[in-house]
Structure 1
């Protein structure tokens, strides 16, 4: 049973009289200058957006030439562009609960003031997607895309990202207990599915093991986008199975006042949750603040949990009964968790774009169910030691602590009447740490310091083609430290360039793309083998083999040059209906963990062996 409450304030924006005076003065001066410049020949483009009944559509979005200029319709459905130069342009018109429309416009010496656009009702909600560089919506992409937003996201929101998305088409959850789960897209997960925050890698260690929680939060997100299938064209090697992009407003692009909060209670785990998003600002400065807090107890079960071997059931039966009585019923031991975090962001808004930054932190502490390390190591101790320590080990169990600090910078600038029509930049730096703690002692510490930068260069409409070039860089310094660290410290770097293009041929949209990247991975020297303490006395008396003793191994630098290409077609065979077809060639480079791992992973009770 779950209860939640949300509220959003009405967006308001107040402009001072002084700004109006200053703006009027600037516009007058600019108009005088334009009278003596070639741009004085620029034309006006205006029209009306209607539904099939001939009624005006209010607040429809009209984008000109790849959304380098964008306006909204008024209550009469009228839109207006000024200073439009001569040439061929594409208008992209969209409105809530309506299908999108694309119109080609040829501007000559005369103004166009009588353009009429009719939008059909859509059978499904059409949502703009931020995960792709080019402007697209959930039904205009040849690549299958799921989008959770607004009330649907609030209703499906769960403590973990995997549980939030588990009911989406083609998506499942790894479900490592109620404390950690990652999305599985079409049967692929781990290093084959990329998790991003506003289009940039979250920079955690969730792809190393299913017990590592994803370093992102769903309760403060505005929407979550799932790209099903190969997405290496946009994001590189880690996205050959798909991408999950968590979108929020941590870098604000609007100074309108908005407050959004959520209160939720779940009686299955006595889970309490609260989150808040606040956005405000002045005419040119925008501020954003969000925060969340969550606390849950051990998960309630329909029956008794069976997590021990049969040989130990009789030995610990009394202890289990006492434990269930203390919990007041059947509970999944060691499944409690706590989490908290906050993000602050600010942006400077100007006429042709914006630039902003954000800083966020996140702390999580959670048990890892299904472990009883007192039993696992009991054979290594004599009976006296086992009697002294087994109770403490079972009580402490295995749990994890995760924390992350993340900085992000986003910027965008639009050029008027230039071949390069827009530049969009993204930068992030993440400092991540995950500790696996057994019986109160830190067994393994995972750290990841990652840097990522991305520049998208959009060109103007050329012969009906719209597109962008992407330059992408990412580096990661990953370390696993401790007695049970199974992967040596490794540094990886990726540099890539990509080219995306699309063009409308009547009711058919053709999408093309290609990408090439260079990946280099350097791993530190590491001891490979087994300690004598891991063998019993009989094995120690025999002559040891070569592999029984650890030896120092030096790894050569691993280099890869993956390439990707795709062709997609979207056919609007009826208003509001379309079919998408796509084919892609995707290659990926192996991750450091897949190459160099060798050792036990206590969080998952597995022994990891790299290639």
Structure 2
């Protein structure tokens, strides 16, 4: 398992409005990118239900793992530390939703008191060109054993600018569009009546140029992406009290409200429209309430127990999706969690932790376009992690047992569709996760590591029960209530060398998925959108990451830190047969072999790669610090992705160049940092391959943000 932490000045420089964008310069990490307001982290080419996002150590249960267009209810600008764990080993402590990795955001909403802590109030103001305007405030202090922390944020951004047209050039290319109805749907275009002629071997398009009419259902503006604006307001208040015998009791309350557009997307056949062909802009209103509580105790005089902790959380999230200012889809997700843990030490070499995870969720949907039934979910888990350290050798063993239960029901507003997702049933899963890892320090400054993880994941609610059109993804999404648990047998090897001010690390990984759950093609178009259904088959995820860093300290010119990284990942179906099986021959028609038949259709519908696999990337950065001045320049190259699934189009390479400059000085009696942050300096037309929005909108063009951070 590879671990990366963002803290301090580097975190300040890389903070972005979405969590995915904040972490996008870490090797092996990408953003799902659903516009400037929604971007969920993906790790090693996988995201959604396989990347756990946690806040202060507790999982964040929200709808962003179900649908990429949903806002991740975590504010990166409040983060004191962001930890990224890459690999399946995190599943022992966090469950199967961490199969690809974990992102934990420590925002200090419950202040953990330290006698040497310097409590300082801070205000930050940011605005600029092609960027949002934001006002942030953090106010904290401590009086007679009680510490408090208040965070305030308001951010708003208009429609963002792009270097060329909003849509991909292929969306204006008749020759590309006429051959692919899927591309027409992704581009949201309608073609004039094509004319076909048989040339003796196949039908070819012979439509005259003056009749090659492309009608755009959604706007294809030049230099701007319509309906990409958003605003957000967040507030948190937390406090903690220290008691005798090394005890602490803390709590926090948080509220987030957001309104955001889904750029480029239009409903095509909503039940809420007067006509099937009517279109309209999609906007989503979100409200979330969150309550956290913490009790911790240090066992100073106990020879076995070190630390005990009980964390609890309750969240309530309400999203209202509107089409042309009419509400068509709502959902409410409420969740409670209770996690007690104990840290122990049986000897100086042996330490460990045991824990429980108790959780319940309730999903309720509404509106004319509701695509999920109501679902009650319960999770119960127990786990143990044992660490051993003997000189140059360190090892960890861990095990987790988890039980997941789903109880769906039909609300009055829900109409089941026609696919497997409508055949709902209660489900129960018993999951087992194990991990064994070791690290050996061969020499001072040179180490090697390896790990093996057996991880199991229960299908998610949409994978089991989705039914009807899911307009945010421009598909009809069909679940399958008969899906089995997903199993990952993960192997990872790593090595690192560090001496003086130089370090380099490398990791290789292989994840062998059994019953990998994926959203598969059907080839059916219904109601203006393509039908996709959740299926299972073996799949392989492999790749590597390399990172290096060098610090050069000078007496006259300041300190320079040079860093670089490279990563690559592949997600490929695992086929057992040679592909020659033909289910349409008479001898096979009456006696098909199920395994060969299933593989035949997967080959012909999915191809040799899983869709939306991020392209390989390489990055370079230099950071400079001299007295009160600091600056950085970062460059990331995202390669072309031509390993694509059936019906998917290759994407072009692109380059992102960014710059940051700041000076710390006294302004009006307050210690302040004035900074300039420039993204996409070369105004590149950048379209991430992993994004559902790739054909409809690129990343924002050149953006320049000016800001002031002041300690008051």
If the length of structure 2 is used for normalisation, what is the TM-score?
Answer: 0.57
Residue matched to 1:121: none
SS of corresponding position for 1:586: strand
Alignment deviations for residues 530-577 of structure 1 (CA, whole Å, 9 cap, x no partner):
5xxxxxxxxxxxxxxxx59x9985x43211111111111122334454
Residue matched to 1:292: 153
Instruction: Pick from 449, 459, 462 the counterpart of residue 590 of structure 1.
Output: 459
SS of corresponding position for 2:97: helix
SS of corresponding position for 2:396: strand
Q: Quick check: 1:528–1:551 contact (8 Å CA) kept in 2?
A: no
C-alpha separation between the residues in 1 aligned to 2:151 and 2:237?
Answer: 7
* Equivalences for residues 348-387 of structure 1 within 5 A: 348-350=241-243, 352-373=246-267
Residue matched to 2:27: 169
SS of corresponding position for 2:341: strand
Q: Quick check: 2:218–2:264 contact (8 Å CA) kept in 1?
A: no
**2:278 matched to 1:408?**
no
Residue matched to 2:6: 148
Instruction: Pick from 127, 141, 150 the counterpart of residue 265 of structure 1.
Output: 127
Q: By how many angstroms is 1:524 displaced? A: 0.7
Q: Quick check: 1:430–1:450 contact (8 Å CA) kept in 2?
A: yes
C-alpha separation between the residues in 2 aligned to 1:318 and 1:400?
Answer: 20
C-alpha separation between the residues in 2 aligned to 1:467 and 1:249?
Answer: 25
Residue matched to 1:510: 395
C-alpha separation between the residues in 1 aligned to 2:342 and 2:59?
Answer: 20
SS of corresponding position for 2:13: helix
Alignment deviations for residues 158-198 of structure 1 (CA, whole Å, 9 cap, x no partner):
11111111121111111112221111111111111111111
CA gap of 1:422–1:172, structure 2 versus 1, over 3 A, is same
**2:145 matched to 1:252?**
no
Residue matched to 1:566: 435
Alignment deviations for residues 320-345 of structure 1 (CA, whole Å, 9 cap, x no partner):
69xx6xxxx72100000001101000
CA gap of 1:377–1:208, structure 2 versus 1, over 3 A, is closer
Q: By how many angstroms is 1:498 displaced? A: 0.6
SS of corresponding position for 2:38: coil
Q: By how many angstroms is 1:317 displaced? A: 8.8
Q: Quick check: 1:398–1:438 contact (8 Å CA) kept in 2?
A: yes
Residue matched to 2:69: 211
Residue matched to 1:89: none
Residue matched to 1:446: 331
CA gap of 1:381–1:522, structure 2 versus 1, over 3 A, is closer
Alignment deviations for residues 408-431 of structure 1 (CA, whole Å, 9 cap, x no partner):
011210123323332111100000
C-alpha separation between the residues in 2 aligned to 1:552 and 1:285?
Answer: 53
Q: By how many angstroms is 1:212 displaced? A: 0.4
**2:225 matched to 1:332?**
yes
CA gap of 1:273–1:561, structure 2 versus 1, over 3 A, is same
Q: Quick check: 1:253–1:349 contact (8 Å CA) kept in 2?
A: no
Q: Quick check: 2:190–2:217 contact (8 Å CA) kept in 1?
A: no
The higher radius of gyration belongs to 1
SS of corresponding position for 1:253: coil
**2:216 matched to 1:347?**
no
* Equivalences for residues 38-117 of structure 1 within 5 A: none
Alignment deviations for residues 286-311 of structure 1 (CA, whole Å, 9 cap, x no partner):
01111111110101011122355264
Q: By how many angstroms is 1:445 displaced? A: 0.7
Aligned length: 434
Instruction: Pick from 54, 58, 64 the counterpart of residue 196 of structure 1.
Output: 54
Alignment deviations for residues 421-443 of structure 1 (CA, whole Å, 9 cap, x no partner):
32111100000111111011111
Residue matched to 1:488: 373
Residue matched to 2:449: 580
Q: By how many angstroms is 1:525 displaced? A: 3.5
Structure (1/2) with the larger strand percentage: 2
Higher mean C-alpha deviation, range 423-432 or range 230-239: 230-239
Alignment deviations for residues 442-470 of structure 1 (CA, whole Å, 9 cap, x no partner):
11112110001111112233363111111
C-alpha separation between the residues in 2 aligned to 1:435 and 1:224?
Answer: 30
CA gap of 1:205–1:514, structure 2 versus 1, over 3 A, is same
C-alpha separation between the residues in 1 aligned to 2:249 and 2:240?
Answer: 6
C-alpha separation between the residues in 2 aligned to 1:315 and 1:186?
Answer: 37
SS of corresponding position for 1:561: strand
Q: Quick check: 1:260–1:276 contact (8 Å CA) kept in 2?
A: yes
Q: Quick check: 2:125–2:134 contact (8 Å CA) kept in 1?
A: yes
Alignment deviations for residues 351-410 of structure 1 (CA, whole Å, 9 cap, x no partner):
51311000000011100011234x6579x977xx98xxx6xx55xx11111110000011
C-alpha separation between the residues in 2 aligned to 1:183 and 1:336?
Answer: 21
C-alpha separation between the residues in 2 aligned to 1:211 and 1:607?
Answer: 15
Q: Quick check: 2:422–2:466 contact (8 Å CA) kept in 1?
A: no
If the length of structure 1 is used for normalisation, what is the TM-score?
Answer: 0.66
C-alpha separation between the residues in 1 aligned to 2:347 and 2:422?
Answer: 58
CA gap of 1:372–1:559, structure 2 versus 1, over 3 A, is closer
Q: Give the unaligned 5+ runs of structure 2.
A: 168-186, 193-211, 481-712
Higher mean C-alpha deviation, range 570-579 or range 270-279: 570-579
Q: Quick check: 1:468–1:499 contact (8 Å CA) kept in 2?
A: yes
C-alpha separation between the residues in 1 aligned to 2:363 and 2:232?
Answer: 23
Q: Quick check: 1:220–1:276 contact (8 Å CA) kept in 2?
A: no
Q: By how many angstroms is 1:606 displaced? A: 1.6
CA gap of 1:309–1:551, structure 2 versus 1, over 3 A, is closer
Alignment deviations for residues 60-109 of structure 1 (CA, whole Å, 9 cap, x no partner):
xxxxxxxxxxxxxxxxxxxxxxxxxxxxxxxxxxxxxxxxxxxxxxxxxx
Instruction: Pick from 226, 235, 242 the counterpart of residue 94 of structure 2.
Output: 235
SS of corresponding position for 2:165: coil
Query: Root-mean-square deviation (CA), in Å?
Result: 2.8
Residue matched to 1:84: none
Residue matched to 1:159: 17
Residue matched to 1:519: 404
C-alpha separation between the residues in 2 aligned to 1:358 and 1:170?
Answer: 33
Q: Quick check: 1:597–1:608 contact (8 Å CA) kept in 2?
A: yes
Alignment deviations for residues 204-237 of structure 1 (CA, whole Å, 9 cap, x no partner):
1101111001011000110111111112101112
Q: By how many angstroms is 1:349 displaced? A: 1.6
Q: Quick check: 2:191–2:215 contact (8 Å CA) kept in 1?
A: no
Q: Give the unaligned 5+ runs of structure 1.
A: 1-142, 531-546
